[in-house]
A and B are shown apart, each in its own frame.
Chain A
Amino acid sequence: MKTELVVIGAGPAGLSAAAAAAERGVRVVLVDAGERLGGQYFRHDGSGESHNRDWATYQQLAQRIAAQQSRGNLSYLSRSAVWSVSDDGESFTVRIRKGERDEAAIEVIAPRLILATGAHDRALAFDGWDAPGSITVGGLQSLVKGNNLVAGQRVVIAGTGPFLLATAADVLKAGGTVVAVVEAHSFTALAANPAAMIAGRHKISQAIELLGALRRGNVRLIDRATIDAALRNDNGAVRAVSVRTNKGIIGIECDVVATGWGFEPNVELAVNLGLSTKVGIDESLNVTVDDNQQTSNDRVWAAGELAGIAGSDVALAEGEIAGAAAADSVGRRGADTEDARRTRARGRRFAKYLLSAYSIPAGWTKHLPNHTTLCRCEEVTVGEVREAIDEFGASDPRAVKLFTRVGMGWCQGRMCAANCADVIRDCAGVETDAAALAAAHKRVIAQPITLGTLAEWDSGAQ
């Protein structure tokens, strides 16, 4: 099918971008891999109710989307994972695999594109992180939000950042038991920073409220501590974790350990399109954007986490700005975006404080025993990666990949490329720059598709 604008991703940024563009009279196709609108942040079970504290915001957005659908300005493709986007200089061809068990092929062609592909948890490797019961914080939360289900009887949540607190509170609300939250830094790091207070008083007081709720829920709050290892039962699943604290190692029994170290933007489509990228202050790869969220390609805008991790408020604002700018580029104008720009400026300022206060500890891979799995898919250990660096001079993630198969498996490095770059830094002292990081995140086939579907792909389909 042909349209004027394709928006990829229906989370906060994609929803506001699609709505803003369609409201200005642009014909939009909104493409998203999920079952329902909302992305990860607004994930919901379809019942129309949610514990999400921003639920009213979602409902407003969903109404705006519905209004544009009924006007014929917007079509929404759910369960539609984009496996490739190409650019012939005039229009983009967006190739979609629709469905998981029942795969169908769709192609959308448009002269303009907004990327709002979001992010996933940054997961640091530790001994036992590949045991059943070890999941990401986002994974734990997605079950609560999407299925009203708590994984495990005794949950430990660990890593860094306020997302740990929010998820712990969600688990309690859903009737689960959180035995401990383990934070690498201080739970109240930002409250002590006046500049951060000015930029994000509301967010900081939210975190303090959450801490209170967790204390009342008998959750053990351990700060300046990290998970050292997950211990396994006879089935190989998690039975406990050992936690490294200032005062030594402590053991906590649990059947689920959820870890999260901030977020990693989903940049593969942007990288495949050759857009400029930079390394953000959280060391993740970010798409470079200008004041109007325009990327280095003047027909592509990026909104939300892939332009730099900054949370849902900023994502919503960036979506409004990107949608308006895309409309403006074809001469369709609407209300100004001054409010959104102010929200974005304030939110980005706060994100800077947040990401610096809740950073990934320097040299974290030095503690990893050699037998720790680094690449989950290909089961390559940290020791094998260190050997490739020492023995073969592999000093960038691509070389390590080709020597050891790290990142060659099913996830194509989504879970391990950043960890691999950190092992290289800690072993060889070589920092992975934006170009090498982009090479590690180049996934030409962004989603697996069957060879049969590819072979029969009707490239003339419009």
Chain B
Amino acid sequence: MSEIRFTFDGVEMRTTAGSTVAAALISNGVMAWRSTRHNDAPRGLFCGIGQCFDCLITINDKADIRACLDVIQNGDVLSSQAGVRDED
């Protein structure tokens, strides 16, 4: 299968085309990509099938995408998502 490139918080990464965003991150050793609103606690994948919404991530500036459902695209810019995002 072909390989694609993406970045996570500015770090270049590679993964297999067709991977979910969560799989792309985990295959690069990243287990957490969000922090919670109240306790600033790290979170990553939990249910893995779109039910728990713990794996929310920001992709190309769009927030709150479920990493376990979305399929990564070549050139995606992923950013970890702080629970309390700064007001612009």
B26 pairs with A377, CB closer than 8 A: no
A217 vs B20: C-alpha distance when bound (angstroms): 28
A74 vs B2: C-alpha distance when bound (angstroms): 32
Also in contact, A376 and B54, with CB within 8 A (given A142-B49, A235-B42):
yes
A132 vs B67: C-alpha distance when bound (angstroms): 14
A139 pairs with B49, CB closer than 8 A: yes
Q: Which of A390-430 contact B (CB under 8 A)?
A: 409-411, 414-415
B62 lies within 8 A of chain A by Cβ: yes
Q: Which of A123-139 contact B (CB under 8 A)?
A: 123, 130-136, 138-139
CB distance from B26 to the nearest CB of A (A): 5
Also in contact, A121 and B47, with CB within 8 A (given A101-B65, A133-B31, A146-B20):
yes
Mask of B51-70 contacts with A, CB within 8 angstroms, 1/0: 11110100110101110111
What are the residues of chain B within 8 A of A121 when measuring CB–CB? 47
Q: Which of B22-68 contact A (CB under 8 A)?
A: 22-23, 26-27, 31-32, 36-39, 41-54, 56, 59-60, 62, 64-66, 68
Also in contact, A136 and B47, with CB within 8 A (given A376-B54, A379-B36):
yes
A141 vs B22: C-alpha distance when bound (angstroms): 13
What are the residues of chain A within 8 A of B22 when measuring CB–CB? 143
B19 pairs with A147, CB closer than 8 A: yes
CB distance from B55 to the nearest CB of A (A): 9
Also in contact, A415 and B43, with CB within 8 A (given A100-B70, A147-B19, A237-B32):
no
**How many B residues touch the partner, as a band?**
35 or more
CB distance from B3 to the nearest CB of A (A): 14
CB distance from A229 to the nearest CB of B (A): 15
B18 pairs with A149, CB closer than 8 A: no
B16 pairs with A35, CB closer than 8 A: no
Q: Which of A93-144 contact B (CB under 8 A)?
A: 100-101, 120-121, 123, 130-136, 138-143
A101 pairs with B70, CB closer than 8 A: yes
B13 lies within 8 A of chain A by Cβ: no
B36 pairs with A100, CB closer than 8 A: no
B41 pairs with A379, CB closer than 8 A: yes
Also in contact, A237 and B31, with CB within 8 A (given A46-B18, A101-B65, A379-B39):
yes
CB distance from B49 to the nearest CB of A (A): 6
Chain B residue nearest to A33 (CB atoms) is: B50
Also in contact, A139 and B46, with CB within 8 A (given A100-B66, A411-B53):
yes
B52 pairs with A415, CB closer than 8 A: yes
Chain A residue nearest to B26 (CB atoms) is: A151
A40 lies within 8 A of chain B by Cβ: yes
Also in contact, A411 and B51, with CB within 8 A (given A101-B65, A151-B26):
yes
B48 pairs with A139, CB closer than 8 A: yes
Query: Which residue in A120, A152, A378 is a CB contact (below 8 Å) of B47?
Result: A120
A136 vs B45: C-alpha distance when bound (angstroms): 9
Please give 19 more A-B residue pairs, beta carbons under 8 A apart, in addition to A100-B69, A138-B49, A140-B48.
Answer: A100-B65, A101-B62, A120-B47, A123-B47, A135-B45, A136-B47, A139-B47, A139-B68, A141-B48, A142-B48, A143-B48, A151-B45, A236-B41, A255-B31, A410-B52, A410-B53, A411-B52, A411-B54, A415-B46
The 18 sampled A-B contact pairs (Cβ below 8 Å) are: A46-B18, A120-B47, A120-B49, A120-B51, A131-B42, A133-B44, A136-B46, A139-B68, A149-B26, A149-B27, A151-B31, A255-B31, A379-B38, A410-B54, A414-B51, A414-B52, A415-B47, A415-B51
